[in-house]
Every structure is written in C-alpha cells, then in structure tokens.
C-alpha cells in the first residue's frame, strides 16, 4: 500500500514491513503495539504494553527464523516445528499436539497452518480503528483458516475474529488451538494466575524428569494440584525459574472462557477471553526452567495458556479416539472471537469479560 496514510497518533497499521525476511504487519495505538509475522503462520510475535514497554509474549532463545531459508538437519515431525518456533501466539489448525497420522496424512507437531505464509489485507485504517485480515489453506488437510485482528483508539484490547472452514467434500476432524506463550518480565515469581471457575486436569501421563505434577489427577479450581512427591502445587502463584519444572495441565468445564496473569510488582497484567463453547479446554504449559535437553536445555521460563477445542496435547488421532476432536461437516465453518487485553492494577481478577474488560 504505497499511498497508505501515515499517521503519528491514534490507531496505526502498516503491512510494509519485513522482519528477518518475513512479511510483517504492525498494529498500534496509544496503549499497545502488536506485531504479526504474516509469512510465518500470521503469528502474533509481539504484544507490547507501550506505557510500560513490557512485551507479554515469550521469545524462544533461537528466535525468529524464516522457514523458507532454514534447512533442518533432520526430518523429525516434532523438530521441524520446534526449530522455527519463535514463541508468541500461533493459531494452530487443524492439529494441535504431537505428531499423528489421520486420514492418510502425516501431521507434525502443531501442524499445519502456522509454519506457512498467510495472505493479508488491511481492511480498516483510520485513527479510530485499524484491522487486518489474514488467511491460509492447508496442504495436507482440507481446512481454511482466517482471522481479522483489530484495535481501537485508546484501548488495550486486541480483538481476533477467527473462522475455520472444512473445504473438503467429506467430514474432517480438527484440533484447534490458540497457542499463546507468556514470558518475563510479566511472568515472574509471585505473579498471579486467575481463571474462571473450572475443573483442573493434570496431564494423564508422566512427562519425565522435570515433571512435578501427579499424572491423571483431577480437582476443582482453586484446589492445589496433586504433585508426584511433596506438597501440592497452587496454580494461582507462579514460582521462579529455580522451580526447574516442565508440566502440562488443563482447565475445563468453564462456564465462561477467560484467564488473567497479573504481576503486582509491575502493576500490570495480561488477560484473554475466549468462547468456552468452542474452546472447551485451556491448556496450561508450565515450562518453568525445566525441560532437559533439546530444545529447552533448562534455559526457558514461560507458560502457555492456550484455549483449545480438545484434550490432551497428544495430537488429532488420540483426540478423535477420546471424542474431544471437533468434527466439521462438509463445508462447515466454525467462528470464534478471542480478545487479549493489556491492563494495569494489582490484586486478583474476578473476570475478563467477552469484550476484554477487567472486573476485580
């Protein structure tokens, strides 16, 4: 857009950027700046609260790599994804979780749309509101996904209006995951997690040497989760990196879908609201200085709080077997609106509203 209006106040948007060779779109207003890697899954790479200069999104130690210019040394269906995982927020369709085979297609970790380039069009551009539409189609699966990201003047809310469509001429199954990873400085020892009333599920299997949660435990929020040894773990308060743990848990049976991470020391928080009717599970990835060997090498400190249609993170084929995969009829479209908000203040959050408001 050579003749796009170039404002220096209010809402602004531009698709005239590249970052490490990837087409990049930037949306910003007085409160937030959002950076989207259009050529790599339309990932939300950065979500900055401008007054405090805090970026809520976690970054991997290896950072952004252009999949088109990066030659992996093996063809592992897990490492192919991890090698180009930069952190941030991915829209994962139609296969959230570890590799499986479905309908004759080999599906790698979190495949397949978030490692490919998405088309983009700026659909609204004025000082009061800006919006960009992104879309992509699968190669191994019949799914099309689109999402429109928008912000309004003076607001700390990013609105993501999404639609997933089965363009095949037969029914098809899907695990749809919003893979949101949060890191320091918002994430810190003593930071607080609030979620809607729900049931908590520990991952059904032992996740290895760095795992502290007792596999298969089930309880009601905010009851502390059972540990393999020692004291139960209170999910409401995050430990520091010295915790050296790597675990998965899941929140489900939410009447409303929302969560908030608040850092009282910074007086700052990040909240997400999502439709619980579509995303029936909230995955809770706890990478708190744990994870021996590839790819973490105990150097990462982040959490993933990830709305998902399905359970657990073992891929589409297991989700089909346990009947948590979302079956799409021929030509069916499922829509969802997710809102992420930068907010200020201290103390517990009672609710994140469907329009991104904070109630204390």
Q: What percent of the chain has pLDDT above 90?
A: 94
Residue 3 pLDDT greater than 90, yes or no: no
Distances, alpha carbon 334 to alpha carbons 78, 117, 204, 275, 341, in Å: 27, 22, 28, 12, 23
Tokens of 141: 């699966």
* Nearest CA among 137, 266, 135 for reference residue 192: 266
Instruction: Identify any residues that bridge with 190 across adjacent strands, giving them in sequence order.
Output: none
3-state secondary structure of 82: helix
Report the alpha-carbon distance of residue 83 to residue 85 in Å, rounded. Answer: 6
End-to-end CA distance of the chain: 43
Q: Among 270, 247, 248, which residue's Cα sits nearest to residue 259?
A: 270
The per-residue pLDDT for range 199-213, each reduced to its tens digit, is 999 999 999 889 999
Q: What class does CATH assign to 12-359? A: mainly beta
> 95 φ, ψ to 5°?
-140, 85
Does the pLDDT value for residue 25 go beyond 70? yes
Q: Give the confidence band of 164 by pLDDT, cuts at 50, 70, 90.
A: very high
pLDDT tens profile 309-336: 999 999 999 999 999 999 999 999 999 9
Is-contact 279 309, C-beta < 8 A?
yes
What's the pLDDT at 280?
A: 98
pLDDT confidence bin for 2, thresholds 50/70/90? confident
SS3 content of the chain, % helix, strand, coil (to 5): 5, 45, 50
Which range has the worst mean pLDDT, 51-60, 62-71, 178-187?
62-71
- Token representation of residue 50: 């401008």
Domain boundaries, the chain: 12-359
> Do 164 and 82 touch, CB atoms closer than 8 A?
no
How far apart CA 194 and CA 269 sit, in angstroms, is 11
Is residue 24 a contact partner of residue 149, using CB atoms and an 8 Å limit? Answer: no
Q: Output phi, psi for 121, to 5 deg.
A: -145, 130
Each residue's pLDDT tens digit, 103-136: 999 999 999 999 999 999 999 999 999 999 999 9
Contact call for residues 182 and 58 (beta carbons, < 8 A): yes
Q: Is the peptide bond before 321 cis (omega within 30 degrees of 0)?
A: no
Tokens of residue 180, six digits: 């949101």
Count CB neighbours of 1 within 10 A. 11
Helix extents (H) in the chain: 79-82, 316-321
Residue 266 has what pLDDT?
98
Residue 1 has pLDDT above 70, yes or no: no
């Amino acid at each position: 857009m050579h003749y796009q209006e170039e404002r220096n106040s209010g809402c602004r948007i531009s698709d005239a950027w590249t970052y490490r060779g990837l087409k990049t779109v930037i949306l910003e207003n007085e409160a937030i700046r959002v950076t989207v890697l259009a050529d790599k899954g339309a990932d939300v790479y950065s979500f900055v609260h401008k007054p405090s200069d805090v970026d809520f999104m976690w970054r991997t130690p290896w950072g952004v790599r252009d999949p088109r210019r990066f030659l992996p040394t093996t063809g592992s269906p897990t490492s192919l994804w991890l090698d180009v995982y930069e952190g941030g927020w991915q829209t994962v369709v139609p296969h959230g979780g570890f590799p499986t085979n479905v309908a004759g297609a080999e599906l790698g970790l979190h495949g397949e749309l978030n490692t490919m380039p998405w088309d983009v069009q700026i659909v609204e551009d004025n000082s009061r509101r800006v919006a960009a539409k992104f879309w992509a189609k699968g190669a191994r699966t019949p799914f099309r996904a689109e999402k429109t990201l928008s912000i309004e003047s003076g607001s700390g809310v990013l609105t993501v209006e999404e639609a997933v469509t089965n363009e095949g001429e037969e029914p098809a199954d899907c695990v749809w995951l919003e893979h949101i990873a949060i890191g320091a400085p918002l994430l810190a020892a003593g930071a607080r997690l609030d979620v809607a009333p729900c049931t908590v599920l520990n991952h059904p299997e032992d996740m290895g040497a760095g795992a502290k949660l007792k596999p298969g435990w089930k309880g009601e929020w905010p009851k502390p989760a059972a540990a393999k040894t020692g004291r139960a773990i209170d999910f409401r308060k995050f430990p520091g990196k010295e915790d050296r743990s790597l675990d998965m848990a899941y929140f489900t049976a939410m009447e409303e879908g929302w969560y908030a991470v608040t850092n009282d020391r910074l007086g700052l928080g990040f909240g997400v609201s999502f439709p619980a009717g579509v995303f029936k599970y909230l995955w809770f990835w706890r990478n708190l200085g744990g994870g021996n060997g590839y790819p973490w090498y105990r150097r990462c400190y982040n959490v993933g709080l990830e709305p998902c249609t399905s359970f657990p993170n073992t891929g589409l084929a297991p989700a089909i077997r346990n009947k948590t995969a979302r079956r799409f009829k021929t030509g069916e479209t499922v829509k969802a609106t997710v809102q992420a908000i930068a907010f200020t203040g201290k103390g517990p959050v009672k609710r994140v509203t469907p329009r991104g408001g904070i109630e204390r």
